[in-house]
Amino acid sequence: MRQYELVERVRRYNPHADEALLNRAYVYAMKAHGSQKRASGDPYMSHPLEVAAILTELKLDDATIVAAVLHDTIEDTEATREEIDRLFGHEIGELVDGLTKIRRLDLVSKKAAQAENLRKLLLAVSSDIRVLLVKLADRLHNMRTLHFVPPEKRARIAEETLDIYAPLAGRMGMQSMREELEDLAFRHFRPDAYETISKRLVDFFSESGSLVTKIETELRDRLQAAGLKVDVKGRLKKPYSIWRKMERKSISFEQLSDILGFRLIVNTVEECYAVLGVVHRAWPSVPGRFKDYISTPKQNDYRSIHTTVVGPSRQRVELQIRSIEMNEIADYGIAAHALYKDDAANGVGHESRAYTWLRRTVEQLAEGDPEEFLEHTKLELFHDQVFCFTPKGRLIALPRGATAIDFAYAVHTVVGNSAVGCKVNGRIVPLLAPLHNGDEVEIVCAEGQVPPAAWESIAVTGKARAAIRRSTREAVRKQYAGLGRRIIERAFVRAGKTYEDERLKAALPRLARPTLDDVLAAVGRGEIYSGDVVRAVYPDYKGERTISQPTGKTEAGWFGLKQAEGLVFKVPGAQQESNPEPSSQAIPIRGIESDLPVKFAPNGGAVPGDRIIGILTKGEGITIYPIQSPSLMAFDDQPERWLDVRWDIEEGHRQRFPAQISVTVINEPGTLAQIATVIGENDGNIDTLTVTGPSQDFREMLIDIEVWDLKHLNAILSQLRMRPVVSKADRVNG
């Protein structure tokens, strides 16, 4: 395209276009890209001009067209944002910067880099939708020329287009662009499937061409006889849409009922319903194949009536009935709105539902790591929708497969966090039950409820997942903060100092933490040593940071040293020792499955009756070791991580605990059966078993076993040693 051709295209729909601005942008981009070439061998400048040409078809304003011409200058040339701002203004500079990928990312995976660039793009889009329109046009032209790209890159680019850009165009209501992106990407991503389906479509049309004409004629005649002026357009379903439906429903090409479709375009909404009445009187409708998107529009502003009838020649025919305005929005989506056209009064106008959805989605998903953002954005983009109602009649649009959990979070985050049950159409159903079109959903809430972390894997919407993750993190943070407060208070007691929240708040800058809770949680997680907190509040405190411990200590020596730390920690589901510390000195948590992770030592575990020690590990919680575990030697020089713990279970508890035993046996048939029988008859539970062969005559079995307590474990070991096939049976202390 030539410079004057671009200007003519713009002036065709905007006679007042700033021709000087367009020419200046053309000259600047031409100089910036210089002798750069595309993969096709064409001058690079051909690409931004074609992108601008695509946007002229959407009749966009001058600033957007200029941004399209300049969109690769900052990323691929020596041009800078400051220079763009100076020459073309801040508005155009913002648009171009939003389209510029993040360069020199220090990220270990391409997926993380892709996610970070998508995050930057969507954050820019949430400020100005024109960024997205330019980006989609940019991707469309790149897909049109993808055959020039090396084969190893084609599939990756095509997959990214199908995963992100085509669904994004669909969510913005730009169906024509979505279909072309899908068609171009599909032929490169799955060339065999594309070839097969395209051939089947050609064969289908050659066989049904006369039928299409016949149906068009009969529809037009019947509607004209009813006094309705209707534009009837026949169409075939697109290859990618056919492939997705065949994959999703596991059906063959022959089983598809909507390959053939017709659009009936009228002038007004009233005529849409009049056409529907004529059609349903003339031909029987197919049950379950009627959707009224006029009364309940999709979130991308799409409005139309869909119905399937058994038409002429007993052929199933899908009909889409819409007005001229609805058809324009269906094809061009958000670009059909006047909000960003030059004739909009200072940009004030109707903000489309699609753009409102996009901004809200970006706000909800902008937190967290980049790959989570990418995953949840795909979730938000990809799903078809179901429409449900609150008891007061509010319409809630959700992805297909969404549950009452997603519904609750769609209503409000507080509702989702406090949800404990639900009623669907007046019947009590589980929160995990999938919802269907037209369901009326009532959420039952309870104060103080915290959403289980497992809900994150069940939720379908990105909003619900993000909210559950935030709530879970906050709950864990509170647990760690409570633990950290007790540790700090005891540290101040040991140092002979007075602890006060206000004094610690004044010392926050020395600890590089913004809030008191951040410090408490960091101490609870083991990220900050409690002695450092004392020194931050009392700089003159000279206490030692670590306690040197000679190796080879006896069990009593180890335990005594840790008692000197002055902390006792209740191990959930465990029994108290004969001389427990006062309960007021304990740091309680709730259950082994608590949000504050508590686990037993690998390769050995611990059981009631063992004297035990807790080790704080950053980001992992507390690991419980028996006092005789040689693994504790590794923590000799880290006393700040040690906690005295004790068993705290009710008498007659019915909870098993992990232990590991090593059994050396004679290598003969039936040995394994004898070992398993002894453990089973003594009410033990084998978790895992590993057999190795130290020699031809013997085998060593390493068995992870679950028992009630130390007495139970010793009884099993005693019974094993009595077996003739057993040479040795001992407990393993990892």
Catalytic residues: 75-76
Please list, in sequence order, all residues whose beta carbon lies within 8 angstroms of the beta carbon of residue 258, skipping any fewer than 6 positions away. Answer: 237, 308, 316, 318
Sign (positive or negative) of CA dihedral 137, 141, 143, 144: positive
- Start-to-end C-alpha separation, the chain: 73
d(CA 406, CA 383): 13
Q: What is the CA radius of gyration of the chain?
A: 34
Residue that is written with structure tokens 């647990």 in the block? 479
How far is residue 577's CA from residue 568's CA, in Å, rounded to a whole number?
12
Kindly give the pairing relationship between strand 598-600 and strand 621-626.
parallel
Phi-psi region of 717 (alpha: psi -120 to 50; beta: other; left: phi over 0): alpha
The answer to whether 121 and 135 are in contact (CB under 8 A) is yes
Contacts of residues 388-397 at CB distance under 8 Å and 24 or more positions apart, as own/partner, are 388/435, 388/437, 388/438, 388/439, 388/440, 388/441, 389/438, 389/439, 389/440, 389/441, 390/440, 390/441, 390/442, 391/440, 391/442, 395/296, 396/441, 397/298, 397/299
C-alpha angle 597-602-607 in degrees, rounded to nearest 5: 80
Asked if residues 317 and 308 have their Cβ atoms less than 8 Å apart, the reply is yes
Calpha distance 472→450 (Å, rounded) = 8
β-partners of residue 443 are 422
Q: Which two tokens stand for residue 445?
A: 């809430």
- Give me the residues paired with residue 440 across strands: 389
Phi then psi for 644, rounded to 5 degrees? Answer: -75, 135
Q: How far apart are CA 56 and CA 64, in angstroms?
A: 9
Going by DSSP bridges, is the β-strand pair 316-323/260-266 parallel, antiparallel, or unpaired? parallel
CB 682 within 8 A of CB 716: yes
Helix ranges (DSSP H) in 190-290: 191-225, 239-249, 269-282
Cβ contact 316:262 at 8 Å: no
